[in-house]
Amino acid sequence: MQKRVKEILSWYAGESPGILTNLARMLNHGTLAGTGKMVILPVDQGFEHGPGRSFAMNPAGYNPHYHFELAVEAGCNAYAAPLGFLEAAAAEHAGEVPLILKLNNHDVLLDEKDPDQAVTGGVKDALRLGCVAVGYTIYPGSTHRLDMYERLREIAAEAKAVGLAVIVWSYPRGSGLTKEGETAIDVTAYAAHIAAQLGAHVIKVKLPSAHIAQDAARKVYEKNQVPVGSLPERVRHVVQSAFDGRRIVIFSGGAKEEDQAVFDEARAIRDGGGFGSIIGRNSFQRQRSEALEFLGTIMKIYGGTMR
């Protein structure tokens, strides 16, 4: 096992051998195996945004097998999806890529100021499907956030008891925040810290802007001259907020955008000490050959073979 992977696993010394093994399976799989960096393919967008908005631009994406094949061929560290997509194709692709079962989901059929998520899968499903981890979303800023935190703790305890790693999508959202505040640096760092405190092994957040949403936080940032002017500096601060970098923090890719913008973001994540990306729409909304080239470039940036 590579020295970097051993170092990362040492940060989770209080966890069971089963959890450490499953974390190692992700860190030691695919193109970036052994580097301590990760690129995960998540495909929960059909549930979260609707199938047409997610797959019409690349109809191959309606097929659950397509995403397994893309994750395997691209050399992703893991593939994450809701129960239905995994059940539909996991048997045919057993052992080909580490799997993450997304345990809760939300639809967009009702306009909500304060979103919540329904529990759509369970730990027993994750075990049955051969997953290495479960994924769970929380919305810091929503009026439902405290209930979400409590549900996460219960599910995390159940998952850890059977050796599964816990990955938390920590997305600030709700009536407590403005749209700009959802990705503010102070709010994003807070969201990463909350996920770590709730027991996440891997934390997924959005890339932060330089905006500071909370007046009390702004005073502290300015008084202590916390460097957040550049994107690498903001990534470094978010990672620092997750137990001084002793939890794996990865950053979401968001809506599909121009290739160079995504590549520049990956460089900022790398240079700021982030652990990688979880890239969905920017990957599977492309034709397969284009997606493979795109993901290959991201991995070269993280792997250090491309500046």
pLDDT tens string 166-175: 999 999 999 9
User: What DSSP string runs through 214-241?
Assistant: -HHHHHHHHHTT---SSHHHHHHHHHHH
Pairing of strands 118-119, 104-105: antiparallel
For the stretch 107-116, pLDDT in tens is 999 989 999 9
Angle at the Cα of 268 (from 265 to 271), degrees rounded to 5? 150
What's the whole-number mean pLDDT along residues 149-156? 98
Residues acting as catalytic residues: 204
The answer to whether 203 and 240 have CB atoms below 8 angstroms apart is no
pLDDT of residue 288: 97
What is the distance between the alpha carbons of residues 42 and 153, in angstroms, rounded to a whole number?
22
Question: Where on the phi/psi map is residue 248: left (φ > 0), alpha (ψ -120 to 50), or beta?
Answer: beta
pLDDT of residue 9: 98
Strands (E), 7-95: 38-42, 78-81
pLDDT of residue 62: 98
To the nearest whole number, what is the mean pLDDT of the chain? Answer: 97
What's the whole-number mean pLDDT along residues 234-253? 97
**pLDDT of 1 strictly over 90:** no
pLDDT of residue 72: 98
pLDDT-derived band at 74, boundaries 50, 70, 90: very high
Domain count, the chain: 1
For the stretch 175-209, pLDDT in tens is 999 999 999 999 999 999 999 999 999 999 999 99
pLDDT of residue 144: 98
pTM summary value: 0.97
The answer to whether 37 and 239 have CB atoms below 8 angstroms apart is no
Encode 270-305: b = buried (16+ Cβ within 10 Å), e = exposed.
bebebbbbbbbbbbbbbebeebbebbeebbbbbbee
For the stretch 247-281, pLDDT in tens is 999 999 877 778 999 999 999 999 999 999 999 99
pLDDT of residue 208: 98
pLDDT of residue 156: 98
- Is 54 buried (19+), middle (13-18) or exposed (0-12) by CB count in 10 A? buried
The answer to whether 141 and 174 have CB atoms below 8 angstroms apart is yes
CATH number of the domain that residue 134 is part of? 3.20.20.70
- Print the domain residue range for 81: 3-303
For the stretch 2-25, pLDDT in tens is 999 999 999 999 999 999 999 999
